[in-house]
Copies of this chain bind each other. A is one copy, B any other.
């Protein structure tokens, strides 16, 4: 009440503003125009537009001023950064608010993981909202670190930083009225519920929408997006590190429907974050592809705020949060200054000294592996052909290959000549000692082994190698780090990225993580790896919801049949 009275006083010109931004070219996402104005700020909010002055003025000298950018769908874990370091990386890029789905850490640590993310989101120059993960674990074909039921989600939803239900990937469950998933939707009530329904259409899509789903970020072409838009889904146009949908989907956007379209990142890897950027990259890409800049800015500000019911942001207007970005070129948006809650928090690409980025939040270790030895990876020879996971370059889908096994000493072994590596998934949550073993073609490794605790969605340890001893050494290396990525050859650890936060995230800054990762991938390439990012490729080989053949700690999964299958086909 006092705050409001003060704001009103400043607005009407009877009280001093905390800060007056002079001579802005304001990108007004409400009126759809650019107009010159000063902006008076008080108590962290915009007090007034027009002509203002005050004891603290900053002359923008005709820089454009737009609302802070909002990412409506992001998995922070994909950046390998902690929330504070993520904030330090994206805020200078102009992002002032994100809506994150902590799905990855929830698979490792359940509610504890989500609460950790909530805690580490405080004291940063970034507003981090969350959606309650809806699909933990993803399937019953693997061992996850946790399980979230509707009863777990309900208390989460009462947190003011939790906005709704995260992407409901179990779309077959929704369409067929599965009680568990409907209970989660019911728990969300009138809050936003994000969807995830690649390729869903016709009546099944109607059923999905009728259940209460509000958005989708999995469209890959205009026809699919248009059908979803017509039925009422907000279309989150995704431009991720792996999935690049922006250029394909932009033709969907018209003046009559742009309000229902958003731009989101979903997943950004460290190198892309570092080299391309965050939401600023999406904006530049969209505008360079021909989208009107004001429309593009609406799609990362007011549209997103409206969908999520964030009524205090998304535009520059009296009473709204003073989350602002200043930049010189409307057609090549590169924020020079970023204001959050009325304070300058980043300038020329870096968070300003003195702006708090993070606090110490304790978290238990999550790599809990039973002692095991190279024998765990042994595959006794058998008759028949071998089921091998075939990597498809730049895709997360795989093929199922049927190959003749290479047998030595009564065991099936890796065959680097044919690029067939041994693959294992070591359960790391419950120390069950469970190890699933299979084979993969397409990684290209000639020697050594690569191991990772990032393995969607359960994030057990996945390891691929040319021999069992190196595989064991690589697994032991990531265990010693409390999680992370490692490359081993000759039983020697050659390079690593420690990810001690849930085995998913580093406490280091973006530059350090990107440097470590770059070095690690270089080593992997030296070992023969033939794909651009072999750890990325590895991370999807344990995901049993993406066709065709995947490996979990419980063994090979034929995804189309949604069941475990044997290593050998007789």
Q: What residues of chain A have their CB less than 8 Å away from a CB belonging to chain B?
A: 1, 4-5, 7-13, 28, 30-33, 35, 40, 45-50, 52, 174-177, 182, 185-186, 190, 202-204, 206-207, 209-212, 226, 229-232, 254-257, 259-260, 294-295, 298, 306, 311, 315, 317-320
Contact B48–A210 (Cβ < 8 Å): yes
Contact B1–A49 (Cβ < 8 Å): no
Known A4-B210, A256-B295; judge A232-B11 contact (CB<8 A): no
Which chain B residues border A177 with CB–CB below 8 Å? 5, 8-9
Which chain B residues border A226 with CB–CB below 8 Å? 31
| Minimum distance in angstroms from A323 CB to a CB of chain B | 14
Which residue of B47, B52, B202, B229 contacts A30 across the interface (Cβ within 8 Å)?
B229
| Minimum distance in angstroms from A417 CB to a CB of chain B | 50
Contact B47–A210 (Cβ < 8 Å): yes
Contact B256–A12 (Cβ < 8 Å): no
Known A7-B210, A8-B175, A47-B210; judge A231-B32 contact (CB<8 A): no
Closest CB pairs A-B (n = 10): A32-B256, A232-B317, A255-B255, A48-B206, A210-B318, A12-B207, A11-B207, A11-B206, A209-B318, A32-B257
Which chain B residues border A203 with CB–CB below 8 Å? 11-13, 48, 50, 52
| C-alpha gap A177/B31 in the complex (Å) | 27
| Minimum distance in angstroms from A550 CB to a CB of chain B | 27
Q: How many copies does the complex hold?
A: 2
Which B-chain residue is minimally distant from A45 (CB atoms)? B210
Known A50-B203, A203-B12; judge A255-B211 contact (CB<8 A): no
| C-alpha gap A371/B185 in the complex (Å) | 64
Tell which of A5, A306, A319 has the most Cβ of chain B within 10 Å. Answer: A319
Contact A320–B206 (Cβ < 8 Å): no
Contact B31–A211 (Cβ < 8 Å): no
Which chain B residues border A7 with CB–CB below 8 Å? 210-211
| Minimum distance in angstroms from A203 CB to a CB of chain B | 5
Which chain B residues border A40 with CB–CB below 8 Å? 206
Contact B229–A31 (Cβ < 8 Å): yes
- A/B interface sample: 10 pairs, CB < 8 A: A8-B207, A11-B206, A11-B209, A12-B175, A12-B206, A32-B255, A230-B317, A231-B317, A232-B318, A255-B256
| Minimum distance in angstroms from A28 CB to a CB of chain B | 5
Contact B30–A232 (Cβ < 8 Å): yes
Which chain B residues border A182 with CB–CB below 8 Å? 1, 4-5
Contact A31–B257 (Cβ < 8 Å): yes
| Minimum distance in angstroms from A326 CB to a CB of chain B | 18
Which chain B residues border A52 with CB–CB below 8 Å? 203
Which B-chain residue is minimally distant from A319 (CB atoms)? B210
Contact A315–B32 (Cβ < 8 Å): no
Which chain B residues border A260 with CB–CB below 8 Å? 30-31
Which chain B residues border A202 with CB–CB below 8 Å? 50
Which chain B residues border A176 with CB–CB below 8 Å? 12
Tell which of A9, A12, A254, A260 has the most Cβ of chain B within 10 Å. Answer: A12
| C-alpha gap A48/B311 in the complex (Å) | 30
| C-alpha gap A311/B192 in the complex (Å) | 10
Contact A256–B294 (Cβ < 8 Å): yes
Which chain B residues border A315 with CB–CB below 8 Å? 232
Contact A209–B317 (Cβ < 8 Å): yes
Contact B211–A8 (Cβ < 8 Å): yes
Which chain B residues border A318 with CB–CB below 8 Å? 206-207, 209-210, 231-232
| Minimum distance in angstroms from A12 CB to a CB of chain B | 4
| C-alpha gap A201/B7 in the complex (Å) | 17
Known A8-B207, A203-B48, A207-B12; judge A35-B230 contact (CB<8 A): yes
Contact B1–A230 (Cβ < 8 Å): no
Which chain B residues border A1 with CB–CB below 8 Å? 182, 186
| Minimum distance in angstroms from A330 CB to a CB of chain B | 14
Contact A211–B30 (Cβ < 8 Å): no
Give 11 A-B pairs besides A11-B206, A211-B319 with Cβ atoms closer than 8 angstroms: A4-B185, A12-B175, A12-B176, A30-B230, A32-B254, A50-B202, A50-B206, A209-B317, A231-B318, A259-B259, A306-B306
Contact B12–A204 (Cβ < 8 Å): yes
| C-alpha gap A319/B295 in the complex (Å) | 28
| Minimum distance in angstroms from A296 CB to a CB of chain B | 12
| Minimum distance in angstroms from A231 CB to a CB of chain B | 5
Contact B175–A4 (Cβ < 8 Å): no
Which chain B residues border A185 with CB–CB below 8 Å? 4
Which chain B residues border A175 with CB–CB below 8 Å? 8, 12
| C-alpha gap A175/B10 in the complex (Å) | 11
Contact B212–A319 (Cβ < 8 Å): yes
Which residue of B4, B207, B232 contacts A211 across the interface (Cβ within 8 Å)?
B4
Contact A33–B256 (Cβ < 8 Å): yes
Which B-chain residue is minimally distant from A42 (CB atoms)? B210
Which chain B residues border A32 with CB–CB below 8 Å? 254-257
